[in-house]
A and B are shown apart, each in its own frame.
Chain A
C-alpha cells in the first residue's frame, strides 16, 4: 500500500483485502474563487466536453424495444404455464388448489372434478375442471410454482401481456396450457 496510509495509524497488513483492490485517487481541481476558480471552471468545461464526446463515440445503448427485446434470465418470472405429461398427454394439475391457497394476491381460481376412468384428464384422482388466473391481479411472486406438488404450474418467460380489456387478462386453463408463442428471448450462457 502507499505511504499515505501509514500516518494515521492504519496498518495495511491488517486489511489484506486491500492488496487486491486498486485504490483510485480522487482528482480534485483548485478551490473555487479567484483566478484559480476561473481556471478550474474552464478546465472542468473542457473535461465535460471531453466526457460527452466520449459518449458520442461509444454510440447508443438503446434497445429499440418492440423490434428487439431484452433477453430474460432463465429464472425470470413471467406469465404462468400449465404443463402436461409429454408421454401420456395427461395434465399434471390434479386440482389440489394449493396454488390458490399460496397465492398472496388471491388471483387463482381452481374448481376440481373427479376423473372418469375411461376419459382421464389428469394423472391423479381429480383434475382441475376450471383453472383461471387473473393476470391483472397477479404479482408474479412465483409462490404458486413453489406450492405445486406436481410442477404443473410454472412461471414462463412471457412478459408482454398488455391488453385493452380486463376480461382478456383472466387466463383460462386452455390459454395457460397452450404452447405460448416464444416472444421473449432468453439470455444465453454467460450473458
Chain B
C-alpha cells in the first residue's frame, strides 16, 4: 500500500520555532498592507482613489485603523454569554494561524523545509483547521444575544455545509494526480505542467468555494452588511471586531496559498531556488487580487441561490471532475 504522504523528514526544534516566527511575521506584515490595498483597489474599480490621506499614498491607513479599534471600548451586550462571546473572535484567529502552517513556501533547502510543517494528512488538515473558524462565527453569533448575529451565524453554518463538500471534491482531482495528500508533494507533481491546466474545472470550483470559505462577496451572506449589519459581528466592537476582520484577510491568504500550491505550481518559477518563497508569495497575492476584483464586481447572492449553486451545480460538477480524473489517472 502506498503511504498517504511521505513525511519522514524531521527538523530540529529550534529551526521549527524560527520558521513559525518567520511565517508569522511575514503574514502579519502582509495583512495590514492587504487591507489598505483592498480598499485602494476597490476605490480604483469604482473610479475613486481609496484611502490616500494617512501617510504617503495612504499606506499608514491600517495603523490609523488599528489605533482606532484599540482605543475603542470592548463593549459586550448585557444578554451576551460572556465566555463564548470572547471566544468567538479567538477561534477564527487560531484556525487561520494554524492553517498557515501547511502552506509550502519552498522545497527543502539546506536541510530546512521552507514550510511550516508537512503534515501526512496534508490537505485534510486545512479542512479540519479551517472548519474551526466556523465555530468561532457560530458561537460568537449565538453568544452575542442579538437576532442579526444569530441569523448571520446560522447563515454561515448553512453556507459551510453547502460548499465544503464541493471544495473537498475539487481538490480530490489534484490529490489523485499528485498521488499524495501532502501539499509539498502536490507542488512536486507539477514540475511539467501546472494542475490548473488539467484540473481547470477543479480550480474554478475550489475558487468559488474559497469565496464562500472566506465569507467574501458574492458569498458574504454571514456578514451581509446591507441586511444583517455585519451578521455575527454586529455586537462586536474594538479589537474583537478587528480580529474578525484580520481573520477574513488571513483566510483569503490561506485559501490563495492552498490554491497556488495545488493548482498554480506553488513555488515553481524561473530563477534560482532562493526565489521560491517569492514566487509562492507572488502567486498568492495574485489570487488575492482576484478576490478583491470579484468583490468589486459581483453583488451578493441570495441565500437560496448559494444553496442551489452549491448543491445543484458545484457538487455534480466536482463529482464529475473527480470521476473523469480518476478514469484518466487509471488509464494513463
Report A's interface with B, CB cutoff 8 A: 38, 45, 48-49, 51-53, 55-56, 58-62, 64
Chain B residues within 8 Å of A49, by CB = 293-294, 297
Chain B residues within 8 Å of A62, by CB = 47-49
Q: Can you report 15 A-B residue pairs in the complex whose CB atoms are below 8 A from each other?
A: A45-B297, A45-B298, A49-B294, A52-B297, A53-B45, A53-B293, A55-B45, A56-B41, A56-B44, A56-B45, A59-B47, A60-B49, A61-B47, A62-B47, A62-B48
One of A51, A56, A64 near B49 (C-beta < 8 A): A64
> Is A55 touching B46 in the complex (CB atoms < 8 A)?
yes
Chain A residues within 8 Å of B313, by CB = 38
Output the least CB separation between B214 and chain A (Å). 18
The docked-state distance in angstroms from the alpha carbon of A52 to that of B294 is 9
The docked-state distance in angstroms from the alpha carbon of A53 to that of B313 is 27
> Is B298 touching A60 in the complex (CB atoms < 8 A)?
no
Given contact pairs A45-B298, A48-B298, A60 touches B293 in the complex (Cβ within 8 A): no
> Is A60 touching B48 in the complex (CB atoms < 8 A)?
yes
Does B69 have its Cβ within 8 Å of any Cβ on chain A? no
The docked-state distance in angstroms from the alpha carbon of A140 to that of B21 is 64
The docked-state distance in angstroms from the alpha carbon of A105 to that of B298 is 48
Q: Which residue of B lies closest to A47 (CB)?
A: B297
Number of A-B contacts (CB under 8 A): 35
Which of B46, B49, B297 counts the most chain A CB atoms within 10 A? B297
> Is B294 touching A60 in the complex (CB atoms < 8 A)?
no
The docked-state distance in angstroms from the alpha carbon of A62 to that of B50 is 10
Does B67 have its Cβ within 8 Å of any Cβ on chain A? no
Q: Which residue of B lies closest to A54 (CB)?
A: B45
Q: Which residue of A lies closest to B317 (CB)?
A: A38
Does B165 have its Cβ within 8 Å of any Cβ on chain A? no
> Is B45 touching A52 in the complex (CB atoms < 8 A)?
yes
Chain B residues within 8 Å of A61, by CB = 47
The docked-state distance in angstroms from the alpha carbon of A56 to that of B43 is 9
Which of A45, A48, A60 counts the most chain B CB atoms within 10 A? A60
Which of B41, B43, B45, B313 counts the most chain A CB atoms within 10 A? B45
Does B296 have its Cβ within 8 Å of any Cβ on chain A? yes
Which of A51, A58, A62 counts the most chain B CB atoms within 10 A? A62
Chain A residues within 8 Å of B48, by CB = 60, 62
Given contact pairs A38-B313, A45-B298, A52 touches B293 in the complex (Cβ within 8 A): yes
The docked-state distance in angstroms from the alpha carbon of A48 to that of B299 is 10
The docked-state distance in angstroms from the alpha carbon of A148 to that of B184 is 85
One of B47, B49, B294, B298 near A55 (C-beta < 8 A): B47
The docked-state distance in angstroms from the alpha carbon of A60 to that of B51 is 12
Chain A residues within 8 Å of B298, by CB = 45, 48
Output the least CB separation between A32 and chain B (Å). 11
Chain A residues within 8 Å of B44, by CB = 55-56, 59-60
> Is B47 touching A58 in the complex (CB atoms < 8 A)?
yes
- Using A58-B47, A60-B48, A64-B49 as known contacts, list a sample of 4 further A-B pairs with CB atoms less than 8 Å apart, ordered by residue number in A: A52-B45, A52-B297, A60-B44, A60-B49
Chain A residues within 8 Å of B41, by CB = 56
Output the least CB separation between A54 and chain B (Å). 10
The 9 closest A-B pairs by CB, nearest first: A52-B297, A61-B47, A48-B297, A52-B45, A60-B49, A56-B44, A52-B296, A49-B297, A62-B49
Chain B residues within 8 Å of A38, by CB = 313
The docked-state distance in angstroms from the alpha carbon of A62 to that of B44 is 10
* B17-67 contacts to A (CB < 8 Å): 41, 43-49
The docked-state distance in angstroms from the alpha carbon of A72 to that of B298 is 36
Output the least CB separation between A167 and chain B (Å). 32
Chain A residues within 8 Å of B45, by CB = 52-53, 55-56
Chain B residues within 8 Å of A60, by CB = 43-44, 47-49
Output the least CB separation between B197 and chain A (Å). 19
The docked-state distance in angstroms from the alpha carbon of A136 to that of B247 is 49
The docked-state distance in angstroms from the alpha carbon of A14 to that of B45 is 45
* B200-234 contacts to A (CB < 8 Å): none
Chain B residues within 8 Å of A58, by CB = 47
Output the least CB separation between B265 and chain A (Å). 23
The docked-state distance in angstroms from the alpha carbon of A28 to that of B165 is 34
The docked-state distance in angstroms from the alpha carbon of A52 to that of B289 is 13
